[in-house]
Amino acid sequence: DAKTTQPNSMESNEEEPVHLPCNHSTISGTDYIHWYRQLPSQGPEYVIHGLTSNVNNRMASLAIAEDRKSSTLILHRATLRDAAVYYCILRGDSGTYKYIFGTGTRLKVLA
Amino acid sequence: GAVVSQHPSRVICKSGTSVKIECRSLDFQATTMFWYRQFPKQSLMLMATSNEGSKATYEQGVEKDKFLINHASLTLSTLTVTSAHPEDSSFYICSASQGARDTIYFGEGSWLTVV
């Protein structure tokens, strides 16, 4: 399973945009990039996913590098409720399609 | 989004007893379900993958005789921790997918405390 690398923690001020990076240099051509976030004592919550093109939804935007070796989750206006651990996960197109979690990025939002 | 529900959300059991945790997909049929364990301040660790109607596939280092997984229907998977010990105390999370290429949705998690 391809691995991802994320910074352990990041801080952001409330109401400001946040860019959460993820490196996945060993990504294969059929791996989808998925982002989840986990609030304390809760299961992970789906945020967004993409393959090659940038993606937008009501929660966030996903910017994928042209070589697909990195991606960035963008929260356009951070709120206190966005404080969570954000996981970037690759999901392959073969095998059991299971998710292997890395350490994630703990986002702290400052009021 | 799709809803995956776990029950119980919290359970305390005595050392040596068995405890069952249920995972249900409420609005879709889940051909595949996954079970994770998470210790405080750590990431999720995949324990096993279960496919409806077949035996679960366990990750390396996970004792299949201790963590029994049953996926008897397309909406229900159960994890039974047998002969639980204090070191089994953890946050157990299930997830489900409608199909192999569909988004995976997670349950709320179940806290197990073995005393």
Q: Is the dihedral of CA A102, B67, B2, B42 positive or negative?
A: negative
A 6-35: CB under 8 A from B: 34
Q: CA-CA distance, A85 to B77, in Å (whole number)? A: 26
Least confident of A43-52, A88-97, B1-10, B97-106: A88-97
B→A interface, C-beta within 8 Å = 1, 4, 6, 32, 34, 36, 43-46, 49, 57, 91, 93-95, 97, 100-101, 103-109, 111
Q: CA-CA distance, B111 to B38, in Å (whole number)? A: 10
Whether A36 sits inside 8 A of B100 (CB atoms) is: no
pLDDT given for residue A94 in this prediction: 61
Q: What's the pLDDT band for B2 if we cut at 50, 70, 90?
A: low
Q: What is the mean pLDDT of chain B?
A: 92
Residue of B nearest to A100 (CA): B46
Bridge partners of A13, per DSSP, are A110
The residue whose two tokens read 């919550």 is A45
Q: What's the pLDDT band for A29 if we cut at 50, 70, 90?
A: confident
Q: What is the pLDDT of residues B63-91, one digit of tens each?
A: 999 999 998 899 999 999 999 999 999 99
pLDDT given for residue A69 in this prediction: 95
Phi, psi of A4 (to 5 degrees): -125, 150
Whether A101 sits inside 8 A of B43 (CB atoms) is: yes
Whether B108 sits inside 8 A of A44 (CB atoms) is: no
Which residues of A fall within a CB distance of 8 Å from B104? Answer: 34, 46, 91, 99
Which has the closest alpha carbon to A32: B106, B100, B94? B100
Q: CA-CA distance, A7 to A22, in Å (whole number)? A: 8
Q: What is the pLDDT of residues A30-84, one digit of tens each?
A: 889 999 999 999 999 999 999 999 999 999 999 999 999 999 999 999 999 999 9
B29, pLDDT greater than 80: yes
pLDDT given for residue A13 in this prediction: 96
- The token duo for A87 is 């996981």
Residue of B nearest to A39 (CA): B108
The residue whose two tokens read 């998977």 is B77
Q: Give the gap in angstroms from C-alpha A51 to the nearest C-alpha of chain B.
A: 12
Which residues of B fall within a CB distance of 8 Å from A44? Answer: 44, 93, 95, 106
Find which of B104, B105, B111, B113 to mutate to test the A interface (most A CBs within 10 Å of its CB): B104
Q: What's the pLDDT band for B102 if we cut at 50, 70, 90?
A: confident
Q: CA-CA distance, B29 to A24, in Å (whole number)? A: 31
Residue of B nearest to A91 (CA): B101
Q: Residue B41: is it exposed, middle or buried by C-beta count within 10 angstroms (0-12/13-18/19+)?
A: exposed
Q: Where are the alpha helices (DSSP H) in chain B?
A: none
Show Cβ contacts of residue B10 under 8 Å, excluding neighbours closer than 6 positions.
B110, B111, B113
Q: What is the mean pLDDT of chain A?
A: 92
